[in-house]
Chains A and B, each alone.
Chain A
């Protein structure tokens, strides 16, 4: 304590000066605890949880004429909140109790969402691994597999290839169109921008079966194309384009206007500004837009259902003949009354999730850098320059950039 006792301000006598220096050995610093969870908090939550569980069991199982796990959980949760409120009221101020109660609700909602996702993934994982653990699931298609064949025969190679090809084609169509529409709405603007935006917004809510019907009616029936992976990719394009457009427009609008001004002040035309300044600056966001679109497209079943046709055979050519994709494969096999087929359906669902994961990671790695981040090539160039400089410093003649004679002063 003595080290912090300052001399009184009113008496700055010379005797007060040596005081700080006397305390030569300072006490070890101790960090003050800022926030965080205290034991009190944990016990309050745990106490409320246990107490409400016991009360709920008694009420639910013994007193009230209810049954069922779902109702039990809901009642437990409500009793828990009430118990937590009561326990909190015993220790804390009213405002503080309200604050913590909201905190507990927010926490439990978050946990619920995580639990649901873990449950979904875990369920598919456990059901799907039965068939997916056999390598033949990824190397064979269903050409010669009957309904009662064991799961060591047949697989989803045809569906994986079909999904990738259809999604690839749809991305190829939807991304340029979507980004062009976004550039039109945010950069060109004018009187037509608003109706286009309204239309795009309406399209995001388009029921996916309608997209399938549209392609079925226009491309397959009217123009006479056969049902194929290409037709399916057109239907997926209809689904993906509005998503890409919306997301891309948002990120393009986020590009600061000062950058556009700077580009115009350098003599850039509008489209060069968009191409060289606006789109590169918005690139990480555009990647997100593309990923969102692909996420929408890869899992769509109903547009594909009407347009690609189902086949159990391998077909690597999306432009002719029926081609099956993963969602369609799942839909088709999971409803069959054979255990092997159901297992294959779940394995395909697992595969679909893995494909999605791989696609997302790839997209992030390829294009998701923030503007300030360096690519590997840039880092290499920097290293090279640094080495050259070192050489120059060591007395070699090499300079980072050779100066012209008249510039060497």
Chain B
């Protein structure tokens, strides 16, 4: 079903690699450019005076899928939202530490949040296509929102490429002008993935992208993630252990107790976390003994 081997990505061996290149005008990443990785150093976060994350340092390797696992309320989603500066949109949110995209801190003074978010896309827990737009306009909405002008042909090509990458093209190619809200939940979520891909981000963050979906739709989304691997760096928050095991190459286990903020208990290759964890708590969690 999904590709769960942990070999480094080899573009030449991937039969789909050359078929999905974006046109150069709208695509900053045409394949031969190095992929960007993400790294955080000593990231702590607060909501008001309540500390929710404590000195989280984690590297998310370029071109790989990193899964963030842990029980509810351990700060995974907060951490994810810190990565693309969505954290600061919540009133009373504060932050310490560095988030390095290609070695450059996204919180460097003078850096525009909108520019960071364009390079680090996000897919949310509940599918949220824009209801007032057609499928096609949903996909190309990122261009409109970022104020990028492209010709009609380029736009159409971008729509098709993004939908193909998200594995949705065959299902919607005949009804691109219908509203996005008319699709099923799983299709909507893949539409949201396509929408994120259309602005050609370096990183794609996914906040429990399958938790509102049925198993079939979940499988399709996981297939999409597997196909995207190697093209961009993916960070996924999931409550589903099997999903983390299936889609990710590396994995970080977050844990918070009622009086200590969330922190990383253990991080490393997914295989190691699931089969040979160093920490007893990790072992308990991945084997379903708590959480």
Contact = CB atoms under 8 A, between A and B. Distances in A.
B174 A266 contact: no
29 contacts: A259-B128, A259-B130, A261-B89, A261-B124, A262-B124, A264-B89, A264-B114, A265-B86, A265-B121, A265-B124, A266-B117, A266-B118, A266-B195, A266-B199, A267-B145, A268-B142, A268-B145, A269-B147, A272-B146, A273-B145, A277-B130, A280-B132, A372-B182, A378-B177, A382-B178, A385-B175, A386-B174, A400-B173, A406-B18
B57 interface: no
Contact of B21 (A268, A374, A389, A406): A406
Interface residues of B, number: 45
A276 B199 contact: no
Interface in B191-227: 192, 195-196, 199
For the complex of A and B, 9 pairs with smallest distance between CB atoms: A267-B118, A268-B145, A371-B131, A280-B132, A265-B122, A266-B142, A258-B128, A381-B177, A267-B146
A280 B144 CA distance: 13
B131 A401 contact: no
B270 interface: no
A385 B134 CA distance: 14
Contacts of B182: 372
A283 interface: yes
Given A264-B86, A268-B114, 5 more contacts: A265-B124, A266-B142, A266-B196, A267-B146, A373-B179
Interface of B: 18-21, 84, 86, 89, 113-115, 117-118, 121-122, 124, 126, 128, 130-134, 141-142, 144-147, 156-157, 160, 164, 173-179, 181-182, 192, 195-196, 199
Given A267-B146, A276-B145, A382-B177, A409 B130 contact: no
Contacts of B174: 385-386, 389, 400
Contact of A258 (B126, B181, B196): B126
Contacts of B118: 266-267
A276 B141 contact: yes
Nearest to A408: B19
Given A264-B89, A272-B147, A374-B179, A404 B142 contact: no
A331 B156 CA distance: 59
Contact of A371 (B86, B173, B179, B195): B179
Contacts of A403: 160
Interface of A: 256, 258-259, 261-269, 272-273, 276-277, 280-281, 283, 371-374, 378, 381-382, 385-386, 389, 400-401, 403-404, 406-407, 409
B74 to A, nearest CB: 21
A269 B21 CA distance: 28
B210 to A, nearest CB: 16
A399 to B, nearest CB: 9
Contacts of A258: 124, 126, 128
A272 B117 CA distance: 14
A77 B82 CA distance: 66
A125 to B, nearest CB: 40
Contacts of B142: 266-268
Contact of B115 (A256, A267, A382): A267
A266 B146 contact: yes
Contacts of B134: 378
A409 B145 contact: no
B124 A267 contact: no
A407 B117 contact: no
B175 A382 contact: yes
Nearest to A369: B132
B130 A378 contact: no
Looking at B131, B146, B147, B175, which has the most chain A CB atoms within 10 Å of its CB? B131
B132 A266 contact: no
Contacts of A401: 156-157, 160, 173
A225 B195 CA distance: 54
Contacts of B179: 371-374
Nearest to A404: B157
B38 to A, nearest CB: 15
B122 A374 contact: no
Nearest to B18: A406
Contact of A378 (B113, B131, B141, B178): B178
A107 B20 CA distance: 64
